[in-house]
Structure 1
Amino acid sequence: MQTQSKITLFKNKLNSPLAKKGISVLQINLGKRCNLACTHCHVEAGPKRTEELSPEVCEQLISLIHKFPEIQIVDLTGGAPEMNYGFKPLVEAARATGKQVIVRSNLTIYFEEGFADLPEYFARHQIRVVASLPCYLADNVEKMRGFGVFDSSVKALQWLNQLGYGKEENLILDLVFNPQLPITEKFSLAPEQTNLEQDYKMFLQEHFNILFNNLFTITNLPVGRTKIHLERRKLYSSYLQFLESNFNPGTVEHLMCLDQLSIDYLGNVYDCDFNQMMNLPAKTDNSATLTVSKLLEAGSLDLISEIQTAAYCYGCTAGCGSSCGGALL
């Protein structure tokens, strides 16, 4: 087993500190409640988790959305974001101010009691759906996400297609690929995104008559359940070393953390969702942490000069790069 001390500090790989740009994306993690407990989930969400947004923080976020026109995208995640408090109020606040809304959906939630209205709600508000489908083969999906998830996902995608998703210009449906979690040191990065997208489109249309817009390939970062999985198999340090060995400096200028704020269900501010899960808060120049209420009080989103980094940042910069919007190059 290799030791983590052999991993170069990520900030030492860079020619200069990773500087924050103007904020245009607000990603909100509404909580850890979810109807699934996927093996690769970096949030460690599941049916037994109860943490979710409070009414107070929800109101602060709505104020933030109204106050700052530079926010172009409100990206809602979880858990299953749809299950957590504040989902619809935040959607409607963002749409009322002309912002694009993304929901990161597990698809199966539509078949849970009380959530059957979601596909029509998404279409009515022209929400962009980014849906997890880590493979187009049932066996691989169910190894990561649970028995029966593939069939439910197919039915959900067909339902969204019937409403115009993947067909109409304002109803965007994207899918997300994650590699299988490694069980040996034969690590690999995600396949080339454009070619894999064509494979997905051909297979899903031929077998299920499913259409979608884009495929996003996302590297499994050693955070949350993925980290636990690697540690149990004594692969954590060697996986980090693999990611470092594939570091691509060309990805750095495209990283998602540059123009994004990540907010947790308590209202704390982070540079990205991975930092959020690892409790690495964003910092101001005087090393103060931030909350949504502090942003409102300051009247500015641009209080962060330098992005906080860690060893798992190699996951976003390996190969063609990785982000919530897929490959970076």
Structure 2
Amino acid sequence: MVPTGITPFQTKLTSPLTKKEINVLQINLGKRCNLACNHCHVEASPKRTEELSLATCLELIELIYKFPEIKIVDLTGGAPEMNFGFKPLVEAAKGAGKEVIIRTNLTIYFVEGFGDLPEFFAQNQIRIVASLPCYLADNVDKMRGNGVFDDSIKALQWLNQVGYGKNPNLILDLVYNPQLPNSENFSLTPEQTNLELAYKMFLREHFDIVFNNLFTITNLPIGRTKLHLERKQLYSSYVQFLELQFNPDTVENLMCLNQLSVDYLGNIYDCDFNQMMNLPAKDHRGNNLKIRKLLDAGSLDIINQVQTADYCYGCTAGCGSSCGGALV
């Protein structure tokens, strides 16, 4: 339901969002995670047990090999590394010649049984997109838990040691998320290029850490962010703020246009945010999609219109926001 006073997102557009050729397959392997960050739109935690099944994993591997137009396999979670099927999917995607992205929380490397990950990533030339929502310890620990900043720094130093951020084949990107608002003094993410420079200067000077790119991502009003906003009675006013910042120039670069998002049950969505809000992608007849339907159709191009909701204003506010950072 659209909050009171909010323009339905689809009426803001000059025309409906239609899919382009699909070249990104983003897979959410499950909700199991060693952290429980207060802004997590997945609502992942160590207590969650939902994860990929063997049957769904095998269907995903079939999908990866069947469609050469998929150029990027983007693995997320939870902590994707903790969920069933992680390494088989990496190996399948690399075997099929795809670029593999892993969205990591960094601290997982210090959990028993996961200490081989930095070397595994390097051996497979996986692109790392690592969450570091600020370069200041207090801000990170407030969002993600006590001690997370220190572990994240140690993990980044470890990744540098195995060549990430230095070897051109070992790309290390960081992700900035703003603090959750506690009043109606809302703001968008800082300008990405300047913030990236600030991150690089601070991390190099204080910790001798180097990385490639910084992505700024807006906190969308879903998951734990939505729960926080509702507790503070800020949900409607935050969505109104995002609507006021709507930038039509971002629309043609939205990640939902060329991406499929798959959950641990094999359901298909236009993006990870729709996945978390249980807003499935639809075929031309309005039917929900699963992996098997794509395989049986022999095509990824059976979705016409992208499903939208009020939280889409988060992706189109200001310079825009996506899993790859700003859009304009």
Shared fold, TM over 0.5 = yes
Structure 2 residue aligned with 1:67? 66
Report 1:50-129 matches (<5 A).
50-129=49-128
C-alpha distance after superposition, 1:287-318 (max 9, x if no partner): 00100011111111111010000000000000
Structure 2 residue aligned with 1:305? 304
SS at match of 1:6: coil
Amino acid at match of 1:249: P
Q: Verify: 1:167 aligned to 2:166, yes or no.
A: yes
Amino acid at match of 2:91: E
SS at match of 2:4: helix
Gaps of 5+ in 1: none
Following the alignment from structure 1 to structure 2, what is the Cα–Cα distance between the partners of residues 304 and 328?
A: 23
Residue 285 of structure 1 and its aligned partner are, at CA, apart by 1.6
Q: Verify: 1:249 aligned to 2:248, yes or no.
A: yes
Residue 5 of structure 1 and its aligned partner are, at CA, apart by 2.0
Report 1:281-320 matches (<5 A).
281-320=280-319
Following the alignment from structure 1 to structure 2, what is the Cα–Cα distance between the partners of residues 39 and 270?
A: 24
Q: Verify: 1:151 aligned to 2:150, yes or no.
A: yes
SS at match of 1:5: coil
- Runs (4 or more) in structure 1 with deviation over 3 Å come to none
Amino acid at match of 1:251: T
Q: Verify: 1:225 aligned to 2:224, yes or no.
A: yes
Following the alignment from structure 1 to structure 2, what is the Cα–Cα distance between the partners of residues 283 and 235?
A: 32
Amino acid at match of 1:126: Q
Report 1:207-222 matches (<5 A).
207-222=206-221
Say what the alpha-carbon RMSD is for the aligned residues: 0.6
Following the alignment from structure 1 to structure 2, what is the Cα–Cα distance between the partners of residues 276 and 138?
A: 31
Amino acid at match of 1:107: L
Following the alignment from structure 1 to structure 2, what is the Cα–Cα distance between the partners of residues 226 and 21?
A: 30
Following the alignment from structure 1 to structure 2, what is the Cα–Cα distance between the partners of residues 88 and 247?
A: 39
Report 1:133-152 matches (<5 A).
133-152=132-151
Residue 19 of structure 1 and its aligned partner are, at CA, apart by 0.6
Amino acid at match of 2:239: L
Residue 231 of structure 1 and its aligned partner are, at CA, apart by 0.3
C-alpha distance after superposition, 1:240-286 (max 9, x if no partner): 00000000000000000000000000000000000000000000121
Following the alignment from structure 2 to structure 1, what is the Cα–Cα distance between the partners of residues 18 and 95?
A: 31
Residue 113 of structure 1 and its aligned partner are, at CA, apart by 0.4
C-alpha distance after superposition, 1:124-175 (max 9, x if no partner): 0000000000000000000000000000000000000000000011100000
Identity %: 76
SS at match of 1:103: strand
SS at match of 2:318: coil
Aligned length: 327
Structure 2 residue aligned with 1:193? 192
Structure 2 residue aligned with 1:26? 25
C-alpha distance after superposition, 1:59-90 (max 9, x if no partner): 00000000000000000000000000000000
Following the alignment from structure 1 to structure 2, what is the Cα–Cα distance between the partners of residues 285 and 9?
A: 22
Following the alignment from structure 2 to structure 1, what is the Cα–Cα distance between the partners of residues 168 and 218?
A: 28
Residue 191 of structure 1 and its aligned partner are, at CA, apart by 0.1
Structure 2 residue aligned with 1:328? 327
Following the alignment from structure 2 to structure 1, what is the Cα–Cα distance between the partners of residues 168 and 303?
A: 35
Following the alignment from structure 2 to structure 1, what is the Cα–Cα distance between the partners of residues 18 and 291?
A: 21
Gaps of 5+ in 2: none
* TM value normalised by structure 2: 0.99
Structure 2 residue aligned with 1:276? 275
SS at match of 1:4: coil
Q: Verify: 1:182 aligned to 2:181, yes or no.
A: yes
Residue 200 of structure 1 and its aligned partner are, at CA, apart by 0.1
Structure 1 residue aligned with 2:3? 4
Amino acid at match of 2:94: R
Amino acid at match of 1:172: I
Following the alignment from structure 1 to structure 2, what is the Cα–Cα distance between the partners of residues 327 and 16?
A: 22
